Chains A and B, each alone.
Chain A
Amino acid sequence: MKKKLLSLLLAAAMLFAMTACSSTSNSSTPSNAGTSTGSSAADNTAADGPVVFKIGGTGPLTGGAAIYGNAAKNGAQIAVDEINAMGGIQFDLRYEDDVNDAEKAINAYNTLKDWGIQISLGSVTSKPCEATSAETYVDRIFALTPSASSTAVLEGKDNQYQICFVDPNQGSASAQYISDKKLATKIAVIWKNDDVYSKGVYESFMAKAKELNLDVVSDTTFADGNDTDFSVQLTDAQSKGADLIFLPMYYQPASLILAQANAMGYSPKYFGIDGMDGILTMEGFDASLAEGVMLLTPFNADSTESKTAAFVKKYQELFGEIPNQFAADAYDCIYAYKQALENAGATSDMSNEELCDLMIKEFSSMSFDGLTGESMTWDESGAVTKSPKGMVIKDGAYVGLD
């Protein structure tokens, strides 16, 4: 009996601990300026006028990719707080956790639908976004994803838009850049073959490289299970005389590649894409390893440009870290929505279909200035046109390449 009681107690304690975990992770965003995230109280405050739009998205708030989901959520929250403080259009923001998993993303999206989502921020990462975009397409809810860059997110769906580059653009832009600046004679590529983001960029890079007669001498991969040891890939690149390594991947494996190449005494040039952004903010990272690393990224947290500087400062105050590109993308999403909704004269008592049609019309015609690019425009497919900024890391900071 005593044992049973004890185990019951423990089970209760465990359950409590778990719910406590999930509730703290939900409320980790400070809810100031009259907005509250993910609480039912939001419904009451939202009912004040016809200008409060329910906007939501899914992202990995826990799990291995949590850094991206939380960054996007935090960035969006800052924009929402700013806009709500201005008066005029008001947003009620809600993010649901999808743990970077397609199935969980559908569940998360259904939760948002029950809540009454009107316009969507899609999903933060590509795989879940491919799943949710199919749903938002059927439900006629307009979606603008901050960072899910795979083409499958957009394909065949008229109401799906991206604020980030679509993957092929990044790959071909990188190849173009390397060719234009004559950065290398022999190129090695290391990519992650179980990741649509990495694969998408890789494929377009290779296609463009062929077109431009770039000499790709080494082409190697890794995957989730074997992303710690890169000695084989680096030895291959080194033995074939590659003087530049193209790294279409996120910064965490990239940091290992830099460290291991350095330990081997191999020092080629490195060229990364937007996923490389964040490498300098890794706690304990030896910035000298990244010296000379080039990357194409739409966002530069060190920029002195006033809007960016203000955003970075605010983000640091609220969340204690330097925002990455995902935060800036999500911030831009909210402001792009603001602009589009204002232009269209939309009110929140419109149906999802009406809002969706208005947004399609606005986004395919408007031009938007944000943190991640000036005068962005969108084509019919939903892909954005903006010019990537070439950056190089010098003395532990980004410097413009041009």
Chain B
Amino acid sequence: MMTFLNFLISGISLGSIYAIIALGYTMVYGIAKMLNFAHGDVIMVGAYICFYAISRFELPPVVGVVLAIAVCTVLGIVIERLAYKPLRSAPSLAVLITAIGVSYFLQNAALLLWSPNPKVFPSVVGDGKVELFDGKLTVSHVTIVTITACVIIMIVLTLFTETTKIGKAMRACSEDKGAAQLMGINVNATISITFAIGSGLAAIAGALLCSAYPTLIPTTGSMPGIKAFTAAVFGGIGSIPGALLGGLLLGVIEIFAKAYISTQLSDAVVFAVLIIVLLVKPAGLLGKQIREKV
């Protein structure tokens, strides 16, 4: 029983990392209707900024994270301006390929700037842990912070898109860009803001990802990025609570598959579950089925 609970906790901590990355994916997809495959690499950039701030310049972790958020937000806006904006009216496939290109560009730029040597990331929340049942169960602080951060981000994002003016503009853009523009909404600015927020979230995700699994290389963001994308699809891409649910479930399924089925087949099991879910609910767990009116 205790091992089961321990696996559950490992699953949740892995899942919370996926969830926080998935939030960024789903945010950008929900508004701009594009898959930003460079998201994982923005995470990596955020983690490097944070690493250098803490390890080299010996700034307090909070400052490091804030700095990372600032840099990534700017980076997100720049990427959007240079790479995606010129393609606003191009078919979505072109944008998708561009996003993959940006992803490679960031990875290789990181290789040049920061060398391929792995770095060990200093945890931004310390290595403390909470022990339950006389130490039979342990939950690390990173997990608690990550889940708390996920929930806070989820609530704030939901409130933001539901109640603020910019949020309303975002929802309008996501429904119909052309109509939104006719109604006097600055679509370009709105999408830029979306990217800025998504990239800022990526920086937080980067700091937490590397605090939980402390090695940092230029490809650190890519695999978790893809897993998180899967999580976002699982939960219903575009749905903010869906990203959280999808992330947590994916993490738990992955750990349980490893523990109770086979360490060799864990990814196969994860994706099998994904396929089954999508067969039953094509829009994901919490995704909205949108009927096209003819």
B108 touches which of A62, A67, A239 (Cβ 8 Å): A62
In chain A, positions 227-274 with a C-beta closer than 8 Å to chain B are 227-229, 231-233, 235-236, 239, 251-252, 255-256, 259, 263-265
In chain B, positions 108-135 with a C-beta closer than 8 Å to chain A are 108-109, 111-112, 115-122, 127, 129, 135
A228 touches which of B7, B51, B86, B213 (Cβ 8 Å): B213
- Known A-B contacts A66-B111, A193-B264, A226-B266; the reply to A235 vs B6 at CB < 8 A is yes
Interface flags, A52-76, vs B, CB<8A=1, else 0: 0000000000111111001000000
Total A-B pairs, Cβ < 8 A: 116
Q: Is B263 a contact partner of A221 (Cβ separation < 8 A)?
A: yes
Quick check: is A222 within 8 A (CB to CB) of the other chain? Answer: yes
Residues on B with C-beta less than 8 A from A220 are: 258, 263
Residues on B with C-beta less than 8 A from A66 are: 111, 116
Residues on B with C-beta less than 8 A from A224 are: 223
Chain B interface helix/strand/loop/mixed: helix
Chain A interface helix/strand/loop/mixed: helix
Q: Is A62 a contact partner of B111 (Cβ separation < 8 A)?
A: yes
Q: Is B215 a contact partner of A255 (Cβ separation < 8 A)?
A: yes
Chain A residues touching B, range:
35 or more
A284 touches which of B10, B82, B122, B223 (Cβ 8 Å): B122
In chain B, positions 139-157 with a C-beta closer than 8 Å to chain A are 140
Bound-complex Cα distance A62 to B219 (A): 11
Q: Is A225 a contact partner of B3 (Cβ separation < 8 A)?
A: no
- Known A-B contacts A225-B267, A235-B6; the reply to A70 vs B116 at CB < 8 A is yes
Bound-complex Cα distance A178 to B32 (A): 58
Q: Is A229 a contact partner of B255 (Cβ separation < 8 A)?
A: yes
Quick check: is B226 within 8 A (CB to CB) of the other chain? Answer: yes
B215 touches which of A229, A256, A263 (Cβ 8 Å): A256
Q: Is B112 a contact partner of A232 (Cβ separation < 8 A)?
A: no
B3 touches which of A25, A235, A265, A284 (Cβ 8 Å): A235
Q: Is B219 a contact partner of A283 (Cβ separation < 8 A)?
A: no
Q: Is A63 a contact partner of B111 (Cβ separation < 8 A)?
A: yes
Bound-complex Cα distance A381 to B213 (A): 41
**Which B-chain residue is minimally distant from A281 (CB atoms)?**
B117
Residues on A with C-beta less than 8 A from B120 are: 255, 282-286
**Chain B interfacial positions (CB closer than 8 Å to A):** 3, 6-7, 10, 13-14, 51, 55, 82, 86, 105, 107-109, 111-112, 115-122, 127, 129, 135, 138, 140, 212-215, 217-219, 223-224, 226-227, 254-255, 258-259, 263-264, 266-267
Given contacts A228-B224, A282-B117, A282-B120, 14 further A-B contacts (CB under 8 A): A21-B108, A62-B108, A63-B111, A224-B223, A225-B227, A228-B213, A229-B213, A232-B258, A233-B258, A239-B3, A255-B120, A282-B119, A282-B215, A285-B120
**Chain A interfacial positions (CB closer than 8 Å to B):** 3, 7, 10, 14, 18, 21, 24-25, 62-67, 70, 193, 220-229, 231-233, 235-236, 239, 251-252, 255-256, 259, 263-265, 281-286, 321
7 contacts between A and B (CB under 8 A): A24-B112, A225-B223, A228-B213, A228-B224, A235-B7, A252-B217, A256-B215
Task: Sort A-B residue pairs by CB-CB distance and give the 6 closest, nearest first.
Answer: A66-B116, A284-B120, A231-B10, A228-B213, A232-B258, A220-B263
